[in-house]
Structures are given as C-alpha cells and as structure tokens.
Structure 1
C-alpha cells in the first residue's frame, strides 16, 4: 500500500492539533484528554481507548459541530497548551544529567505493552518494555525503542461453554492503530532491506510517539515481498522455529539498519531478552565499516556499551536455532564479511562453551547476546542467582558467584496504573510531578486520614464491581448461566466483600490452580456469611500450553458450581485494559509461582499505588520488598534452590496460603472499629504505599 493510503483525514483547520494529540501515546497514562476524546465519539472511546481510532471514526458533521462548541474549544486549547508545555519542559535528565548518555539509548524488544489499543504484546516482558518507555519519557531519558508491528499480534481469547480456551487472531489495521509511517527528509516512507536466502525482504518503518520517546516499528507486509515473507511479522511468538528466526533477523538486523539509515548513533544498546541479539552483530558491522577495522576489533569496541537484560528462569526459555537453519539464513547477510556463519555460531554455541559433542551446533540467542555485551543483568536479586545457575555451564570452572550476571529489579510506570482516586490522594501527599523525578524511598501519607484512605478503597472496589458486571455481560453471560443467571452476570458480586485478584499467564509454574488444591477449604471461605470472599480471575494460556488450558477449564468448572457461582468470576481476553481495572479495584493481589521461577513479577507492584495489598510467593521482587507490615508472603525466607520441575512444595505452599487467608488476611479486612474502619488493615495499606510505591 502506498504512503498516500495512510495520509490523515482532513480536519477543520482549527482542529488540526488533534492529530498531534492523538498520535502521542501520552494519553495512555496522562488522562487529561480523556474527556476530549469522549466528546468526539463517546462509544468508540469507551470501548477502545484509542484516540487515533476515535479521530478517524468521528463524522465530519460532528467535527464541524464541535468546532463551534465553546466548551469543547476551551478543552481542546487547554490540552494543546498542556502538550506544548510537556514537550518543552525541563526534565530530570535535562537538568541533572544532560548529555551523560551521549546520543541516547537504543532499546530493542520483541514486544511492547503500551496500551490495549496497540496490541503488540503478550505479557510481562512487553508490559515492562512499555513501562520502561513511559518512565523514560517522564524522566526525559533519550531512548529510541525498536520493535515489530505485528499484523495480528498475540491472540485474543474467548472461553467456550465447556471451559475450553479459543484463540482468535483479528487483523491489526495499521490505519486504525496510533502509529504513523516513518518519513525521511524527502517525506518518503522509510524502508529497510534485510538479505534473505535468494531474495531481499523489504521492511516498512512506522513510528509510535510515546511522550518524549520514539518507538520505531518494522513490518514485512510490503506487497513487493513474497507472500511468505509478508507474513513474517504476522503474529507474536510463533511456534515455527524458521519463522521465529526470520522475525529475529528482521528485529535485530533490520532494527539496527533502520537506526543507521536515520543517522542515529546511540551511545548504548539495550536488549530486553535474547530475541534481539543479532542487533549487536549488526552494530559491530556498522562500527567496522565506519572505522575500517576487522570484526573482532569492532566487537571489542561496541561490547562495552551493549547491555543485555534477561527475564528467563529456565534454560528451555532461551531461543535456540539449529546450525543448518542459521547457515541457510545468515549466509547472505554475512557474505563479504570477515565473520562467517560458523564463526558466529561459535559466539553463541552451547557446544563450543560446554565442550559437549554435537553433530549440529545450535545457536543459543541468550548466549550470543551475553558474548556480545559488556554487562548482563537479571531482574531481581533471586533472579541473579537463577541467571548465574543458567549460565554456569558456559563458564566452566568459574565459581557460580563470579559469573558476571548482575541484577536490576524491575519497576513499573506508576502513572499508567493509578486510579483517579489514588491519583488525588498522591497529589495531596507528594505533589503534582512526583513521578517525573527520582523519589525518596518513601512518601508518607501523614496528611491523609484513615477515612479518606478507606473511601478511596471503597470507590475503587465499587468501580471494579461495575466493570466486572459489564464485562461479564459482554461475555454473553445470559447464554450460558449454568445455574443462576444473576450470578453468571456478576450481579451477586458485592461492593463490601473482600476481593482477591489473580491475573497473569496461565501456565503450570505460575500455579494459577494453587487455591484448587483444597477445594473444600476454598468453599468454606467463599461460603462464609460474616466474612465472605470473592475472587476475580483473568489470564491466557499459550495456544500450545495444554496444561495451562486445562487449569482454565478447572477454574471455569469450579466457578459454575451452584455453591460457588457468582463468587468466583473469570474475565476473558486478559489485556492491559482488564489489568488496569483489576489492579485498581482488588483488595489483595495473589501471586503464587513455584520458587524460584518468578524472575520478577511486576503485576503485584501495580496495586501498590492504589492501596491494594500483596499476598505472594517469597520470590522475585516480593522477596526484596516483603516485611510483615506491608503484606503476606508464602514461605518467607525461602533460600535459593536449584531449578527443577518438581512440585514438591505445591501442597505445603497451598496449606500456607489457606492459613494466611483464614487467620490473617480475611480477619484483618473485617476487623472494624465502631466507625466501621479496619484500622489494622489501613495501617498495612499505609505501610505498603509509603514503603513500596516510590521504590518500585
């Protein structure tokens, strides 16, 4: 399709600034413009939260009407002024660190979770990348991100009448996504070429503006490409290893070529997982060309400013490609270089590092990234030890504690996750621009009364219940009510009941079924008249994860029991929009992976700003954050163990989880004074918000 097909629609001249506002994804976390988009098209905005789609859907008659509306004019001009002020404001980086990062950071990741309106993510890795970009924008860090524009992205989920997960792959029409074609100085659409066996693959470049940062996206759906090549960027995390390698070539090789084509010379290259490792080879090639050197010199020169972050907790999680596949696909790219396919394989070959005999070398992408990077880090203190264990076979005779894997514990972009109620509380306590600079390790809520804090929680829970009812209705609850129509549609969910939330990828090691280990005990908690409990669940199982799908089936069957229906609900098609509602409204966030398989687990960080409390496995970030004042830990003080697939702790962890619920969590929520306030619970909320929000 030509560039003309992506030319924006015509707007009344006075409203042309709407283009600038709609194409800056700052509206995904800065909600000052929400009413502006709602005024344009309330139904489209409320159902999609996609400002660009709203702008392209509204009728010309409506635009002409709003152009004459004094209230809309005022709101529009205020948002234009606020955006101009934001773009031109000094930042923490410009004031305290100006120039420290040279020409900036190039950040590579396979997925980005910025908004549900830009579905280029599957889970935690992408959400972290999205939060990283938003935080970089707030702080003024010069980050340029590189990724892929998927035609389908990750799958959309529905649950059949028998509890079976169904996957759908709707097409992502680029004209309806908040992205625009990346144009060069001559106003031409930027394209990049990557050599493949027997042909070149042409890649179209797009730009998503994320506040002060750019996210550059490549897609292969160019009509001049062969049909198979047009589908390289069709779906995220394909199960086909050949297509997976093609995607990683497009991301790594094509991504770095795009930066060079634009004249960008970032001083640091940061890889978020090993999918992007080929970018470091291409970066070395670029340095080699610029300085007329050999590859080994170029590798040495660039390695010091390459950073590799790994989130993987098991060796099977690293991407591996056979030597024969690598030789086929990389030969055209390496032709004429002083690095051939076998030499590249040596940089990431498990055989070369371990001394094991193998007929066909395999390339470990994480190992390639490690050997091309000056620094590698895990994403929590425990994950550092996990990473050292995973990489120990490649550092023969090294003491495990000397293996050069550091750690930087993940965090979240707090403004993306706070509710309107908590935002007002935090503004009073810590100021308007509190998240735009490094905060001290705490921000006491001394000016906020218990009554105000509890009212915040009550309003958040009320809003969540309303959302759950609407969502369950959209899941066609009337068609399959099991036993009770009202219960299936969420009408039995209660605004004053302790609400437990669990939402993440449904896979065995995350143990989403830990509460189902003792169903009779769970039934007693749900059936309590004086201290009731209600549970909201959400999450997807990978299309090939049959065990994860089975856990979804078990929860759906349990939720339809006559004595349970209405007290346990499953929200289909988990995405960032669903996550935002849940983390703002639940009282307790549950996370119970097998220790030590949780690399970090940032979902629990998102409830902190909203006054939610964590009940989590002592793993990942929670092992660093937890103390008895801020929440509850399962098996606190657990020491690092060797990775294994056994389930030896499942039953004992389930018993401990139920003990905590029965004896501490539920009684604490319902222990109220004469004013109807749970003072000890509120004390925990204060401690959690004060001690943890600023830190994470």
Structure 2
C-alpha cells in the first residue's frame, strides 16, 4: 500500500462531494487565504466536519502565502513575504499526477490536511503542489503565490487546481458524488470531466456531441461570490491554448465559456446543474448580470465555535448548552441575564483593548464605545465613508465620545485600495485630538475574532449592490455586537431595525450618495444615546443580534441547505 493510500484510505470508503476553492482558511497561521472567500471556505468545511457532510476539499498549497502587511510612518502598506512550511501542518502524498502546460510535462503532488471536528470524522483537504524536483524550474512556482500576477500565471494555477485536482482525486481513489466550485477559479475541472466522460466518436450521429454535457452538469454545483466585474476571470483564448493546449475542441469551449474570451464564470454556469449566490440580494443581482440562468440563494453563514470569543462561549455553554453543534439554539439567548451578557462583552472588549495596545501602542478606553470596521481595503467597501464630514463627526464625538478601530489589507495590485489605507492614516492624524482612531496592521483570523467580539458596534459601508454577502457582521452577532450597515448582501435579510442593529439609508442603489449623512444621523440620534443612556435597551439589541442573527446566519444551517438542495438533488 502506498503512503498516499495509507493517508487517505479512511476517507475513500464512501462517496464524497469534492469542494474546490482557490483559497481555504484552515488555521490562522496557515496563510492560504486572502480574505472572505477563503474564510468562508474554511467555515464551510468546519461545518461539514461537524454535521457529517461527506466532503473532500481541493486547493493549492500557496507556499508563499498571500502577504504580511506592515504600515510605514506615512500610512502606506508594505507587503512582506509570508512563507510557510506545509510539512509542519500536513502530510505529503506520494501520489502525483501529470499535466501538460506550455508543452512541458508538469507533475502535481500534494499534501493532506484534515479539518478535524470534536464531533465528526474530519474533512480531508488536498493542497496541490508543483514545487517538485522533477519539474522544470519554470513550473515549480505555479502553486507558490496565492493569486499571483499575470494572466499566464493565473491560467496555470487554475488548470492545476481544476484539472490537476480532478486527476488527483481519481489517483487517490476517492469516490465522488459531485463537484462544488467555490467561485470560478476551478472551472477548468468541467473540461476535465467532459473529457473523462466523452463518448467514442465512432458511431455518433451527424451533429451529435461526443461530450456528455447533461452528465457533467448533473455532477457540478457552482457558487458565485461577486457582483464585481473584476472578480470574474476572463482569459484570451490564444493564451489559454498556448498554455493548456490539451483543451477540448475550441468551438465547444466557446459555446460554453464565451465567444470572445474564456470566461471562467460562464464556463461554470453552463456546466452546473445547481448555481447559487451567497445572499438573496446577491442572487437577484447575479440573475441580472447573467440573464437566462437559474441562480438560487444560499445565504452565507459563519462557523459558530470558531467566531465566538472565549467569554461568550463560556456564557453560552452555561445558558444554551449544545449551541456549538446546533447554533439555532441561540434563539434562546434572550433568557441570558443582562449583567452576565454585559460582563462577557466587557471581557471580550478588554481583550481587544490589550491587542490594540500591543499592535499600535495606543490605550483606548473601556468606558467609551468602540466602532469596529475591518474589510478588504478596496474602493467599493468605502472604509472612509465615516470620515466624509469631519466637522459633523467631531460634533457627534463632543456629545457622545467614541473610538474607532479599523483593519484590512489591500491587494498588492489594487492601487486605489492602497491609497485608501494611506488616506485613512491621514484622517487618523487629523482627528487625533478629538477622536481616537486606530488602524491595526496585518488583519488575519486571530485579529478578526478580537475585533468582531471586542467592538461595541460593527460598521459596514459598501456601495450597493456590490456586497455579495459580507460575513464579518455575522461573526459580530455571535458575540452580541450589533451592526450598523448599508442594506446590501446579507444585511438585507438580517437587519431588524433597532432589534438586531441598524440600517444606513434604504436599500435603493440611489441611496449611495446619502449614506454618510444617514450614518451620522443614526449614530447621533439613536445609537450613541442608547449606548450611553439605556444599558438595558442596548443589551436588548445585543440579545437580538444573537437570537435573531447568530441563530440563523451560521455555517451549519448553510451546509444543511447545500446538502439537501445541491448535493442530494
């Protein structure tokens, strides 16, 4: 028996769903994720392990990670290497599979990481790796960098992920009931399946395709995550054919992926029986972007025990036993005594204050509310919206003092996002005498948990309708932190005004230009007076966030929907 077989044999005895994602957040210290997509993938697999959904995941090893973020004295982002050693966390597979890229044979190996659960058997994750001595030096770095530069590099990565992943699963003997593409990066797997299940051309009737499209469609599920055009990979056919010459016949591919360019999202849409967006509003927007396709809605959720602070987990263990496996039980959180709820929040807030002091050298007050904002730093997220009117902001702070804690990375190629970080630091300096504002560097899962649990109010201010889902506010809800957000993504479903949090403006796209004033009005007239003047009223909203939102917007509910509606259809 090969070492590869011995590593995976306990997972190959029953059919599984193969879950493909370019990034997966397995642990905080494994830098195989850049943001929400990878964290969502990790929460998906954690929930699958908890409730026993039989899955196997495929991703890239991303040896050099994404990047570590530092901030220079002028507030500019500096990207530092974030290498990691797979052997510290995973077991090497002896199985390798071969692809042909740019006319060269490229061998793909892998590593096995198991997403364990204290309840279930765990979910195996295969991390594909081309850094093998047998490979040409030009090919060894294909799986090094998460979202590397240039279309040629991205095509190679996506062929390795999709085509190499299908081949590796077969080589290891996995029995598969279906394939789930988490975003379009892995859509080349559909071409590998079409080739695998192709019918002999001899005996075909004139005009009859050799490819069994209905079978492949039946096997595939596709989740789209972005209504932003830049989020959909599109490649020139000449470049794709130069790199991955072993394509299906070009006419067939163009029918499936687009006439002018190979659109990975179109390819996934056309070869998936079940397609979904990640919130009801996002599904509506996706149907507008891609008319003619049936796009369901499975609203995202977050993993309960991963995103609940220690103080709240202890509180729930005492008052809502079983909440970790059945988060819907948190609907009973309204029975928790107010003083115990507030004490748990004070503990989480103190942990954030300690982290701020450690990372920024700034001492914030436990007696003033903290407004938290942590997102990918890109223009449409509007991290600077709260700073639209300095004088109005100062007047509010003079009546109701508050503090702001922010964090987030900009993609190295997103110049506007990097400029946004620099602008935020200029605002921090300009407001230093009136409002304490802190930007914490190197946002990751550990820092995220501190922020979503230690803040008093969670902010989210994207341009409508560009927020596909957004999950940070769901994480905040597990820690009793209400959200103040634009009505987009999941918040369209989660916002019960004054019960689970508050909305900024209405849900019309025309409201974007009025959001800053609406934000100020809510802070000045409702939210800060409530925090300072009515502790019972504030804890009632905290309980609403837990019992109405955390009880529903969790990955256990999300995975049960995928299992019953997508996998077992």
Q: Could you tell me the TM-score, scaled by structure 2's length?
A: 0.90
For 1:413, the equivalent position in structure 2 comes to: 303
2:559 aligns with none
Cα shift at 1:566: 7.4
Q: Deviations over 1:297-319 (max 9, x none)?
A: 53211211311000111233210
> In the TM superposition, what is the alpha-carbon distance from 1:511 to its structure 2 partner?
0.5
TM superposition shift of 1:144? 0.3
Report the counterpart of residue 137 of structure 2 in structure 1: 227
- Alignment equivalent of 1:653, drawn from 515, 521, 524: 515
For residue 650 of structure 1, report the CA deviation from its aligned partner.
4.4
Distance in structure 1 (CA, Å) of the matches to 2:111 and 2:431:
51
267, 280, 283: which one pairs with 1:381?
280
1:114 aligned partner: 26
Q: Gaps spanning 5+ residues in structure 2: where?
A: 117-121, 554-569
- Going from structure 1 to structure 2, the CA distance change for 1:457 and 1:203 (only over 3 Å counts) comes to same
1:424 Cα shift? 1.6
Distance 1:455 1:272 in 2: 39
Alpha-carbon distance in structure 1 between the residues aligned to 2:210 and 2:318: 56
The match for 1:450 among 312, 333, 338 is 338
Question: In the TM superposition, what is the alpha-carbon distance from 1:286 to its structure 2 partner?
Answer: 2.7
Deviation for aligned residue 1:459: 1.2
Q: Could you tell me how far 1:291 is from its partner in structure 2?
A: 13
Residues in 2 aligned to 1:437 and 1:424: alpha-carbon distance in whole angstroms: 16
Equivalent position of 1:422 in the other structure: 312
Shift of 1:438: 6.9
* Aligned equivalent of 1:270: 180
Alpha-carbon distance in structure 1 between the residues aligned to 2:199 and 2:311 = 55
Give, in whole Å, the separation in 2 of the partners of 1:190 and 1:268.
Answer: 22
Matched, 1:525 2:396: yes
Residue in 1 aligned with 2:43? 131
Correspondence 1:662 to 2:548: no
Deviations 1:267-318 (A, max 9, x none): 0111000110011221233334899998655321121131100011123321
Equivalent residues in 2 for 1:190-269 (5 A)?
190-211=95-116, 212-269=122-179
Measure, in 1, the Cα distance between the counterparts of 2:302 and 2:333. Answer: 20
- The aligned counterpart of 1:348 is 257
Partner of 1:635: 505
* Alpha-carbon distance in 2 for matches of 1:614, 1:370: 33
The equivalent residue for 1:59 is none
Give, in angstroms, the shift of residue 523 of structure 1.
Answer: 2.5
Q: Which residue of 1 aligns with 2:387?
A: 516
Is 2:318 aligned against 1:435? no
Q: Which stretch shifts more, 311-320 or 621-630?
A: 311-320
CA distance in 2, matches of 1:227, 1:278: 24
Structure 1 pair 611–287 and aligned structure 2 pair: CA distance change class (3 A): same
Equivalent-residue separation in structure 2 for 1:173 and 1:455 (angstroms): 40
Q: Following TM superposition, by how much is the alpha carbon of 1:560 offset from its aligned partner in structure 2, in angstroms?
A: 2.0
The question of 1:503 aligning with 2:374 is answered: yes
With 244-253 and 550-559 compared, the bigger mean Cα shift is at 550-559
CA contact (8 A) 1:102 1:267 kept: no
- Name the structure 2 match of 1:470: 358
The CA distance in 1 between the partners of 2:395 and 2:184, in whole Å, is 46
* CA displacement 1:523-573 (0-9 Å, x = unmatched): 233444xx3100000001111212111211111112123744871100001
Q: How many Å separate the matches in 1 of 2:376 and 2:432?
A: 27
Judge conservation of contact 2:103–2:243 (CA < 8 Å) in 1: no
Shift of 1:219: 1.2
Inter-partner Cα distance in structure 2 for 1:681 and 1:539: 28
**Contact 1:490–1:566 (8 Å) recurs in 2:** no
Q: Distance in 2 between matches of 1:290 and 1:112?
A: 38
SS state at 1:444 partner: helix
Work out whether residues 152 and 243 of structure 2, in 8 Å CA contact, stay in contact via their aligned partners in 1.
no
CA RMSD in angstroms, aligned pairs only = 2.5
User: What does residue range 296-335 of structure 1 map to in structure 2 within 5 Å?
Assistant: 296-331=210-245, 333-334=246-247
How much does 1:341 deviate? 3.2
Deviations 1:119-175 (A, max 9, x none): 101111111000000000110111100000012121211111111111112322223
Alignment check: 8 A CA contact 1:523 1:564 kept: no
- Alpha-carbon distance in structure 1 between the residues aligned to 2:431 and 2:276: 49
- Give the secondary-structure state (helix, strand or coil) at the position aligned to 2:296: strand
Cα separation, 2, equivalents of 1:690 and 1:439: 8
After the TM superposition, which of the residue ranges 584-593 and 546-555 deviates more from structure 2? 546-555
Q: 1:565 to 1:144 in 2, by over 3 A?
A: farther
CA distance in 2, matches of 1:527, 1:228: 60
Choose between structure 1 and 2 for higher RCO, CA contacts under 8 A separated by at least 6 residues. 2
Say which SS state the counterpart of residue 128 (structure 1) adopts: helix
Q: Please tell me whether residue 279 in structure 1 is matched to residue 192 in structure 2.
A: no
Aligned position for 2:562? none
Kept after mapping to 2: 8 A contact 1:541/1:548? yes
- Rg larger for: 1
Q: CA deviation at 1:243?
A: 0.4
Deviation at residue 345 of structure 1 after TM alignment: 2.7
TM-score, L = length of structure 1: 0.74
Distance 2:269 2:513 in 1: 37
Q: In terms of mean alpha carbon deviation, does 144-153 or 102-111 score higher? A: 102-111
For residues 107 and 180 of structure 1, what CA distance do their matches in structure 2 show?
19
**Take 1:290 and 1:510, find their aligned partners in 2: how far apart are those partners?**
51
**Given that residues 248 and 278 in structure 1 are in contact (C-alpha distance below 8 angstroms), is that contact kept between their aligned partners in structure 2?**
yes
**Aligned with residue 90 of structure 2, among 161, 167, 179:** 179
- Taking structure 1 as reference, are residues 133 and 669 closer, same or farther at Cα in structure 2, changes over 3 Å only? same
Contact 1:429/1:443 (CA < 8 Å) preserved in 2? no
Report how far residue 447 of structure 1 moved.
Answer: 4.2
Matched residues in 2 for 1:521 and 1:616: separation? 19
C-alpha distance in 2 between matches for 1:314 and 1:563: 35
